[in-house]
């Protein structure tokens, strides 16, 4: 039998950037926006709540059977230094007028998105966490704080999303590392269906033909 390749464990360190793929009604990614060192500044990324609920059946005075836990409805928390224009409009559904005024209306509609967050593994190579389908909500509010003796600090932006199972391929979440030979291009092909652009050269436009 052929020898099975031993894959490295995936640890995480830091948080460099996040890609958000805007999906159409068929769960195809039509546009990708990003938050990184050139646009918004990524601070924190947290994905929680994916553990499903198990049902335990008791019989003969013992726990006799346990159902498969499956997955739950995930929650995504993303913090940035600034809110990039294309995240505000394409992800959160805000409108911007000719005077550069961003407006959130009561009938705002946000699209479903797929997410790729990039950090590094414990060997210093890129690693990625993906979420198959989620929807961000309008930012909860704004908090301003006066400067103190140490000077002013940015008032960071907090974004929240709810994650569900992607119907087309049943993907909920994914993880990979370059230490096991995976590339960003390969991971994007899994997480961003039908999108063929170059994540290293995102400019907010549609993917290349």
Given CA atoms 87, 89, 90, 93 in this order, what sign does their dihedral have? positive
Q: State how many domains the chain has.
A: 1
Identify whether 204 is part of a domain: no
Span 131-190, pLDDT tens digits = 999 999 988 767 777 777 777 788 889 999 999 999 999 999 999 999 999 999 999 999
Taking the model in full, what pTM does it have? Answer: 0.86
How far, in Å, CA of 92 to CA of 158, rounded? Answer: 12
Cα distances (angstroms) measured from residue 185 to each of 47, 84, 171? 22, 23, 18
Identify whether 116 is part of a domain: yes
Identify whether 147 is part of a domain: no
Domain that holds residue 32: 13-140+154-197
Is the pLDDT reported for residue 206 higher than 60?
no
How far, in Å, CA of 145 to CA of 83, rounded? Answer: 18
Identify whether 149 is part of a domain: no
Is the pLDDT reported for residue 204 higher than 70?
no
Q: What are phi and psi of 101, to 5 degrees?
A: -95, 120
pLDDT band for position 92 (cuts 50, 70, 90)? very high
Identify whether 176 is part of a domain: yes
Identify whether 191 is part of a domain: yes
Identify whether 209 is part of a domain: no
């Amino acid at each position: 039998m052929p020898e099975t390749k031993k894959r490295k464990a995936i640890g995480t360190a830091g948080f460099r950037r996040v890609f958000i793929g805007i999906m159409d009604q068929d769960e195809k990614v039509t546009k990708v926006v990003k938050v990184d060192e050139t646009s918004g500044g990524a601070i924190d990324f947290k994905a929680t709540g994916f553990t499903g609920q198990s049902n335990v059946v008791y019989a003969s005075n013992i726990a006799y059977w346990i159902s498969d836990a499956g997955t739950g409805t995930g929650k995504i928390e993303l913090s940035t230094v600034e809110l990039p224009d294309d995240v505000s409009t394409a992800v959160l559904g805000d409108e911007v007028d000719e005077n550069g005024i961003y407006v959130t209306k009561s009938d705002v509609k946000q699209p479903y998105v797929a997410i790729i967050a990039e950090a590094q593994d414990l060997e210093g190579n890129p690693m990625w966490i993906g979420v198959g389908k989620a929807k961000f909500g309008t930012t909860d509010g704004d908090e301003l704080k006066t400067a103190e003796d140490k000077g002013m600090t940015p008032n960071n932006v907090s974004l929240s999303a709810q994650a569900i199972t992607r119907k087309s391929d049943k993907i909920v979440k994914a993880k990979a590392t370059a230490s096991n030979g995976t590339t960003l291009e390969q991971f994007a092909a899994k997480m961003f269906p039908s999108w063929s652009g170059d994540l290293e050269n995102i400019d907010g436009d549609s993917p290349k033909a």
